[in-house]
Amino acid sequence: MRLTVIGCGYLGAVHAAAIASIGHDVVGIDVDERKVASLSKGEAPFFEPGLQEILTAGIASGRLRFTTDMSQAQGAKVHFVGVGTPQQKDGYAADLTYVNAAVDGLLPYLSPGDIVAGKSTVPVGTAADLAPRVEETGATLVWNPEFLREGFAVKDTIDPDRLVVGVPAGEAGEAAADLLREVYHPSVAKNTPFIVTDLATAELVKVAANAFLATKISFINAMAEIAEVTGADVTQLADAIGHDVRIGRRFLGAGIGFGGGCLPKDIRAFSARAEELGRGESVAFLREVDAINLRRRERAVQLVLEAFGGSVFKKNVTVLGAAFKPYSDDIRDSPALDVAVRLHGLGAWVTITDPAALENAQRLHPQLNYVADRDEALRAADAIILVTEWDEYRRELTPEHASTLTDGRVVIDGRNGWDAAAWRAAGWTYYGMGRP
């Protein structure tokens, strides 16, 4: 089937390459000429495991191409809209400028029977506003939210744990759902849950999922705050309550909190939309979820200060990680960079290392010191802080090896990813998040 993907950022580029890899003919369309040129040469513009391989294969096969020309959308049966919805600069609400521009630019090239499938994360009610414009062309608007995890986005697109499609009532909606079953035929054949809803529910599914995950992370970090003043160990607490099948252990990793381009902006946009609907009190707890998350960054800085008696002036601090999570080069709202910048502002000499995100980080914060090699970054450090749990930090770096490189013996485990007893036995002063 011939398909288009409007918007070739993180979501769009992965989606275009992934659906081409299952046999569709795909045209990716974006206004950014540099991005299109890079993708057209088979060069992934960001780090995502597995993307480079399917991108190269798709272009070589002829099933995948990229362009800035919106008229190339004409003739495709399904048009996926995957542009960004950043937080507004003057508030919490989502900025729908790119969504509206993408749909308006697509309208002249739609034909009766076409499907416009929104994938962007949008405030509930957005599809209802867009639908009349699309329906005037004889096409049908549906909403097909994405549930990608950065670092696993290719797998999550090719082999998702569920597919959600919001459609309008009536025959047009039923036909649209059937067409998307054809698009996702490998997943449908494997009995992946294919959930058909109305438009508003599909929009709400995405933001509700992100709000729940953010709440779960901030809940365990709130418990870490209590643990810190009582002498309890939040990692043991998480293990114990995680055995309850109603709770589960996933996303109960206390530490420095969440970041990235999804959870922070999505819970804020959800709160803003609830206020617009006159139901702000229903999600008022999300404001506290956000506040708890930001407090954990400040707590990590406080632990460094405590380790040095209240001042980090002229102390060499090595920050392990720049990306907001491992297996990604995404630095949007990165807790790692936030902590690094705060320490720099307090007078520390901050060195950052990361396997994938240094170039992005240096572009945003050129005032910090960046070293690609982990061991070189550790050399002569007075303190180490783990903020992004890459395997080469969390699993492969031993306290004995670190001792051969650093001047100091202070470690702040911002992800509770290390064995505290092992580091202390090797002569280190160990600080965890919510751990005694």
Catalytic residues: 262
Say whether 261 sits in a helix, a strand or coil: coil
Helices (H), 146-284: 153-158, 171-183, 185-189, 199-230, 234-242, 263-276
The CA–CA distances, whole Å, from 314 to 300, 343, 403 equal 18, 10, 20
From CA 167, how far away is CA 146, in angstroms rounded? Answer: 15
Q: Taking the CA atoms of 303, 306, 310 and 312 in sequence, report the sign of the dihedral they define.
A: negative
Say whether 201 sits in a helix, a strand or coil: helix
**Helix or strand run (H / E) with residue 251:** none
From CA 1, how far away is CA 182, in angstroms rounded? Answer: 9
From CA 385, how far away is CA 378, in angstroms rounded? Answer: 10
Assigned token pair, 323: 């990306």
From CA 311, how far away is CA 348, in angstroms rounded? Answer: 9
Assigned token pair, 289: 């979820």
Assigned token pair, 271: 């709160």
- Nearest residue to 418 (alpha-carbon basis) of 401, 436, 393: 393
DSSP 315: -
User: Helix 199-230 crosses helix 285-307 at what angle (to 10 degrees)?
Assistant: 40
From CA 28, how far away is CA 9, in angstroms rounded? Answer: 10
Q: Residue 336 burial by CB count (10 A; 0-12/13-18/19+): exposed, middle or buried?
A: buried
Q: How many CA atoms lie within 13 A of 386 on its CB side?
A: 30
